[in-house]
Amino acid sequence: MTTIAFIGLGNMGGPMAANLSSAGFNVRAFDLSQDALDAAESHGCEVAASAVDAAKEADVIISMLPAGQQVRGLFVDGETPLFEVIKKGALVIDSSTIDADTARSVAAVGAEKGIGFIDAPVSGGVGGAQAGTLTFIVGGSVEQFEQARPLLEVMGKNIFHAGDHGAGQVAKACNNMLLAILMAGTCEALNMGVKNGLDPAVLSDIMKQSSGGNWALNVYNPYPGVMENAPASKGYQGGFLTDLMIKDLGLAMDISQQSAAAVPMGSAARALFTLHKAEGHGRLDFSSLMTFYQGKKGQ
């Protein structure tokens, strides 16, 4: 049976590991947080004492960490880099959203040691991770993509091969920059409508069926009370942190600088989310940008 090491059991990694365990895989899980380990154990994962302990006998290692620094630290630069203990011929699937340069350089170090490493960032949020309907955007060789596909299909519904190493991260940065722009625009329009006497639910229904329809309106409405399961209706808890969106917009700005691609809308979105963070909302879901437009401070 395929043994999977799963490292990083947060909002996204926790449910992804649980889905692999439910599908019958032997999942050896590790996180720095004891709460995350306890939750993974309750979902049928075997808890490992360390990342090394989880990874050393694994056929596939999946990482779901905050940023490039943690990914490089885990596989290449740490006290015991995992590339020193992972079996030759094993495959690392890094689903964290990180910069494409780190993804390419870590893959190159792995290749020197006979270990595969692909970037496979995801889209679809915590709901998609729980439901096993994520979109995976893979950068790596065709052979590595085909090797990973059966596992990705357990955790996701749409599996794309974007291109060679790093291409998954570039595509992900394009997508999240667009998401940030759409969320800011959706908050802006809803706020203007409500200030002019409209019911936010009625206005949302109208725009969903009109040319302004978009993902934020369809599944992630930022106005409290409009959509029962959206973070907006749960005090903007859980979901996708403002801090992580700002990180992703920083990755998009780096790509735009390296390629001289103009991103005025992305830059404006980054400025808005950064101002929102400066008011103390970095740890709230990114749809809390709604409160920035409403002028609510320091929640």
Is 244 in contact with 238 (CB distance < 8 Å)?
A: no
By beta-carbon proximity to ligand NAD, the closer residue of 195 and 283 is 283
Q: What is the CA radius of gyration of the chain?
A: 20
CB–CB of 291/299 below 8 Å? yes
Q: Footprint of ligand NAD on residues 94-153 (CB under 6 A)?
A: 96-97, 122-123, 125-126
State yes or no: residue 250 binds ligand NAD (CB under 6 A): no
- Site track for ligand NAD across 70-89, x = CB under 6 A: x---x---------------
Shortest distance, position 187 Cβ to ligand NAD, whole Å: 17
Helix, strand, or coil here: 63?
strand
For residues 238 and 15, give the distance between their C-alpha atoms in angstroms, rounded to a whole number.
Answer: 13
Per the CB < 8 A criterion, the answer to whether 282 and 241 are in contact is: yes
Binders in 52-71 for ligand NAD, by CB under 6 A: 64-66, 70
In sequence order, the β-bridge partners of residue 93 are 62, 118
Q: Which is nearer to ligand NAD, 203 or 220 (CB)?
A: 220
Please answer whether residues 91 and 118 qualify as being in contact, where contact means their C-beta atoms are separated by less than 8 angstroms: yes
For 24, half-sphere exposure in the C-beta direction (CA atoms, 13 angstrom radius) is 2
Cβ-based neighbour number of residue 264 at 10 Å: 8
Residue 12 in contact with ligand NAD, rule: CB under 6 A: yes
Q: Which two tokens stand for residue 14?
A: 């926790």
Distance between CA atoms of residues 289 and 278, nearest Å: 12
Q: Is residue 9 at the binding interface for ligand NAD, with CB under 6 A as the rule?
A: yes
| Active-site annotation holds for 172 | yes
CB of 233 to ligand NAD, least distance (A): 16
- Please state the closest distance from residue 295 (CB atom) to ligand NAD, in A: 26
Of 56, 157, 172, 297, which one is the catalytic site residue? 172
| Segment interacting with ligand NAD, rule: CB under 6 A, options 3-11, 160-168, 210-218, 255-263 | 3-11
List residues near ligand NAD by CB under 6 A: 7-13, 30-33, 36, 51, 64-66, 70, 74, 96-97, 122-123, 125-126, 239-240, 244
Which positions are catalytic? 172
